[in-house]
Amino acid sequence: MELPSDSIENFIKEQLRRWKEAKEKRDKNLEAYKPAITISSEPGSGGESQLAPGLARKLEFDLFNRDTVKDISESAHISAKILETIGKDRLADVVDFITTVIAERYLWPDLYLEHLMKVIGVIGKHGRAVIVGRGVNFIIPPAERLSVRIVAPLNIRVQNIARMFNMNQTDAQRRVLNHESERRAFIRKSFNGDASNPNNYDLVINTHGLNIESAIDAICNFWTSDYKIKNKTWLPDGK
């Protein structure tokens, strides 16, 4: 679902204010740089509708959901505003990494994908964000993000969708499978990647074994302990 143009403009206006405020705090050593968390989820697993918003609230991170990222990337005007929020050197780092991804994965990005990759790259540079979908784990350098995959058995996901949208099991399963097919096709076409391959993520969580609150706690614990220790490159840049 696309956001109304005035809604996305207001979202970006508020986001630019938050980034400016965060930079001022980092410049004064009042706040450390905190890498982004990317969320990829199977339809109906609760990763997008429940876990991502809850995780953003708990960590006090900005939330960029699938539709918001899509709307930003489809607007050249709004994309330009995002790119202007970091210095030329840091933007060059984003472009360099994107160039590497394109070469290593033999990609032929169209205009939308070019905008998407740059926008996500800049959001990643700002950090303090939970970003959902659109292949973001392929776009942000591994040392600058924690990538999480949320899964659940098909029958559980179908039940969740049926309950969420008040539909029968047949329609719910059709919806789950269609969305899953579309997402996998997008990742395959855009990044020559496999959305279901666990090797593409730092952490995979099955929400059938953990409820949403416990899953959020698990991600927070992983993010603040083991993963942070292993990645010595997570340093405040503040610029």
What are the sequence ranges of the domains in the chain? 34-224
pLDDT in tens, 213-237: 999 999 998 887 655 545 544 443 4
Of residues 75 and 177, more confidence is placed in 177
pTM of the model: 0.86
pLDDT in tens, 30-56: 777 788 999 999 999 999 999 999 999
User: What does the H/E/C string look like for the chain?
Assistant: CCCCHHHHHHHHHHHHHHHHHHHHHHHCCCCCCCCEEEEEECCCCCHHHHHHHHHHHHHCCEEECHHHHHHHHHCHHHHHHHHCCCCHHHHHHHHHHHHHHHHHCCCCCCHHHHHHHHHHHHHHHHCCEEEECCCHHHHCCHHHEEEEEEECCHHHHHHHHHHHHCCCHHHHHHHHHHHHHHHHHHHHHHHCCCCCCHHHCCEEEECCCCCHHHHHHHHHHHHHCHHHHHCCCCCCCCC
Categorize the per-residue pLDDT at 101 as very low, low, confident or very high, splitting at 50, 70 and 90: confident
pLDDT in tens, 179-198: 999 999 999 999 999 999 99
Mean pLDDT of 80-105: 87
Mean pLDDT of 208-212: 90
Mean pLDDT of 77-103: 87
- The percentage of residues in the chain with a pLDDT greater than 90, rounded to a whole number, is 52
What pLDDT is recorded for position 239?
38
Checking if the pLDDT of 20 tops 80, the result is yes
What pLDDT is recorded for position 6?
62
| Average pLDDT over the chain, rounded to an integer | 87
Would you say domain 34-224 falls under CATH 3.30.365.10? no
What pLDDT is recorded for position 32?
77
